[in-house]
Each structure stands twice: as C-alpha cells, then as structure tokens.
C-alpha cells in the first residue's frame, strides 16, 4: 500500500514554534541574573538555548523527510540495545557525573545517556508491537498488561540510576 504524502500540518508546526518561543522567553527570564553573575553575559543560557533550538528545528525538518514505515524493523533491535545500555550504566562501566551514573562512554568521556535512547526505543517498540497485536488490545490482561510490564522494567532500570534530575 502506497501512502499519499500530504502537506505538513501547519497548525501543529505553528503551535510548536509558539511553544518554543515561550520556552526561550522563559529560559531568558529565569536565567539572566545567574548567567550574568556566573558568565558575565546575561544572554549566555539564552544563546545556548537558541543554538539547540535551531539544531532541533533542523532535525525536525530532516526527520519529516524520513519514511517512518521503514523504521519498523529497527524497533526490536533498538529496544534490545537500549535495555543492554541501561543495564551497563548501573555496572562499573557507567560513568559517574555529579554523583550519578547515567552515562556510558570511553574512559571519562561521556558519550551518551542510555535513558535518552530508551525513550526513543520504547516509543518505537511499543508502537510496532501494538500495531502487530492490535486485536489483543481490547483485553487488558493480554493486550495492555504486557506493555505495562515492559514500561515497568525500563522505568525500574532508569530509577536505579541515582539523582534523576
């Protein structure tokens, strides 16, 4: 089945940009004094947030072009990798930062936080498996409960990392 590609949802895009703008204002208004005292520039955090916002918008525009149906095959491998990484963080392989071991890396170089991968992998995995098992979703015990179990395992592994900030 070939899907007809329509235009992007303009209302959703404008809403997201509006929320982004409000967020930028909030970052500036809540951090200007701290930034001025610490870094001598009241706009320090605001400028950093703008840079990351531009990167995020670029990522959004790139992601819009991806055919998400082709990502279905990555759901299970991504979930397995995320679970392995979450387990590795609570072993001595996890890198401690500010009293919390939430990172994986090489030596003292932090590469990534597995909880971020787990967020994406969980969404992909649950969407894929729910799509395949849509007929079971009407029965709580067979349809919903297994997914709650999966979420409990992931949340449990994340909760084992101290300081959830």
Residues 73 and 154 in one domain: yes
Calpha distance 162→165 (Å, rounded): 9
- Domain co-membership, 39 together with 95: no
Range of the domain at 117: 69-159
pLDDT on residue 3: 59
Query: Is residue 89 domain-resident?
Result: yes
**Percent of the chain residues topping a pLDDT of 90:** 53
pTM strictly above 0.75: no
Residue 49, pLDDT > 70, answer yes
Residues 155, 78: one domain? yes
- Please check whether residues 61 and 85 belong to one and the same domain: no
* 3-class DSSP state of 110: strand
Confidence class for position 139, pLDDT limits 50, 70, 90: confident
Report the number of distinct structural domains present in the chain.
2
Sign of CA dihedral 85, 89, 93, 94: positive
Residues 51 and 83 in one domain: no
Q: Which of 19-33, 57-71, 127-141 has the highest mean pLDDT?
A: 19-33
> Are both 48 and 79 inside the same structural domain?
no
Confidence of residue 100 (pLDDT cuts 50, 70, 90): low
């Amino acid at each position: 089945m070939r899907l007809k590609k329509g235009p992007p949802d303009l209302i959703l895009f404008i809403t997201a940009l509006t929320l982004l703008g409000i967020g930028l204002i909030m970052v500036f208004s809540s951090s200007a004094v701290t930034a001025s005292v610490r870094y001598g520039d009241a706009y320090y955090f605001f400028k950093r947030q703008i840079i990351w916002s531009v990167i995020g918008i670029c990522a959004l525009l790139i992601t819009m072009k991806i055919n998400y149906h082709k990502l279905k095959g990555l759901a299970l491998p991504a979930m397995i990798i995320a679970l392995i990484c979450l387990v590795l963080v609570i072993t001595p392989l996890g890198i401690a930062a500010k009293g919390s071991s939430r990172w994986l890396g090489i030596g003292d170089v932090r590469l990534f936080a597995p909880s971020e991968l787990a967020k994406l992998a969980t969404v992909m995995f649950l969407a894929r498996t729910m799509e395949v098992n849509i007929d079971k979703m009407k029965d709580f015990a067979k349809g919903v409960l297994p997914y709650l179990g999966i979420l409990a395992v992931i949340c449990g592994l994340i909760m084992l990392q101290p300081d959830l900030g």
